[in-house]
Structures are given as C-alpha cells and as structure tokens.
Amino acid sequence: MESIGDKQVVRPLLLTWKGLATGLLCAAAMGGALLYTAGRADATPVDVPGIGQFEIADALAAQLGIPAAAPELAPESAPQLAPAEAPAAEQSVLETFEFRPVTIPGVRTAEVPAVIVIPQAAAPAAVPELLQAPEISAPVPAPAADSRQITLAGLGDFSVPNFLPPLAGIPGLTDAAVAQSAPMPAAMPKKSVGQRAVDAARTRLGAGYSSGAVGPDAFDCSGLVQWSYRQAGVELPRTSYSQLSAGTPVSVDELEPGDLVSFYGGGHSALYVGDGQVIHASTYGSGVKISPMDNMPVTGARRF
C-alpha cells in the first residue's frame, strides 16, 4: 500500500520527467523548423542548454530577441587578396660604337649608330645576336639610259635608241651623241703684237695718203705704222727715222708679221705682212696698199 510519503516523493519526479520530455519535444520542433528553413534563409546559431547549438533563421531569432552570433568565416569565404602585379622588367639601353649606312631616298647615304633596346633580364648569350646590325645591301646604280634625244628643226625633240650611231651630216638634225663624241676644238694660237698691228693696218687698205696725217682716214707712212701699233696696245715714235731707232733690230731673213721695215735710208716706214710683202701708205694717189718688199731698197728692220 502506498503511503503518503511515497506519493510526495513520486510527484516531483513525474514533474521533472514531464518537463524534460516537454523540452525535448520543443527542441525537436525547433530542430524541424530549423531544418525546414536552413536552406531558405540566413541562419543564426543558438545555444540550447543541455542540448547543444542549433541554427535558426535570422528573422525568427530577431522575433525571439536572440542576438546573432558572429559567424565564423569559412576558409574558402575569406577575402582573397589579389596577388601583387609583378614589377615590369627593367630595360636598359645597350649602345654599340659601330655605325651602319642608312640610305635616305632623294638626299644621301648617312652613317647612323646601331642602338638596340633589350630587356635587362635577357640571357647574356642572346645579347651579341641582338646587337648585330642588319645587313643593308649597297645601293644599286641606276641603269644607263637606253635612249637619247635628237632635235629636228621645225619638228621638235625625239628619242632614239642609244645603239644607233651618231646621226651626223643630216641637215636640220641635232644629235646629242654627235656633240658628246666631237673632239674639242684646238685653242686658237694667241696672236702676237705684230700680227695684231698688221690686222689693224689691213682695215685701212685704200685709205688716202697725206703728209703728216695719222689716221684714221688718211695717213703718211710713219703715221700708218704708229696708228696700227696703237690698236695693238703699243705706242711707237711718230716719225720714220725715230721708229728705225726704236725696238729690237732683226735681220731681213728673220722677219715676222708686224715687224717694221725701213726703206730709203730710214725715210719710209712699212709693216711686214709675210711672203715678202709689206703694207704701207705709199704716196699721193696710191694711199694704203700692199706691195712687194723688193720694190724698194731696204735699210733695216725692227721688232716691237
């Protein structure tokens, strides 16, 4: 038979087991709710004394007044720092002391230094190859023209093949090849002072004779000699006797054009023109003319 004391001991035990069962059921319900909402909303970890830690939705935790615990960061969720970019490879300028030719069209060929920029980290073995200047072929000379110009009077210029021989002797035709192949004309020998005096005297052939006249329209014998040499740039004495006393004596056998020939003891002057002839202002009615030297007695000769 159960006593009153036994009833008083059993009642608290029943209450304790009922409270534990109720807590377990609540925990199970909360666990089910947590499992239902775990994949659908953000969760907050909650510690249940005597049971353990569970996660409930953040919205439910806010309604129950449960503060949210700081979530642990998973290793893979930790912010990843971007790797620092590697510094750009430094560069250095390697400069040779050799020069290579560079041709600038229309100007000329110039020498420029060979400068190569290579990375500083390049292997030393690669440097000699990089410093080799590129081969530049020598300029090819322009081919010779295969044609030349000819000019036809009244028609104009035309091109003809260069293999044609120079076209010479055709009236009205000028060929550049003829001008190039023609020899340079020999320089004319410089005239002597005497020859220039004779040439001047020839321009007065036919001029009249007059005693004491010195030209240019009329002359006496010494006047013609003085005027002719003056045209050649040499000044002679005025009279025939004084002319015979000037200059350099020369024999008759060595006479040259322009030499003074004196006749009649020095009273008459003439200029030697060659081939045994003289030009002189002879006398009245005859004037300036050319005569054989043998027609008069020769006294002497002078060269100026």
What are the residue numbers of the active site? 221, 268, 280
The verdict on whether omega for the bond into residue 216 sits within 30 degrees of 0, i.e. cis, is yes
Polymer length in residues for the chain: 304
DSSP codes of every residue in 212-257: T-BSSSEE-HHHHHHHHHHHTT----SSHHHHHHSSEE--GGG--T
| Vertex 256 angle, CA 255 and 258, to 5° | 115
Nearest by Cα to 195 from 106, 272, 278, 91? 272
| Vertex 292 angle, CA 286 and 297, to 5° | 95
> What CA–CA distance (Å, rounded) separates 279 from 204?
10
User: Across-strand partners of 148?
Assistant: 160
CA-based R_g, the chain, Å: 68
> What CA–CA distance (Å, rounded) separates 302 from 257?
11
User: What count of Cα atoms within 13 Å lies in the side-chain half-sphere of residue 55?
Assistant: 12
Question: To which H or E segment does residue 127 belong?
Answer: helix 127-130
User: What count of Cα atoms within 13 Å lies in the side-chain half-sphere of residue 285?
Assistant: 0
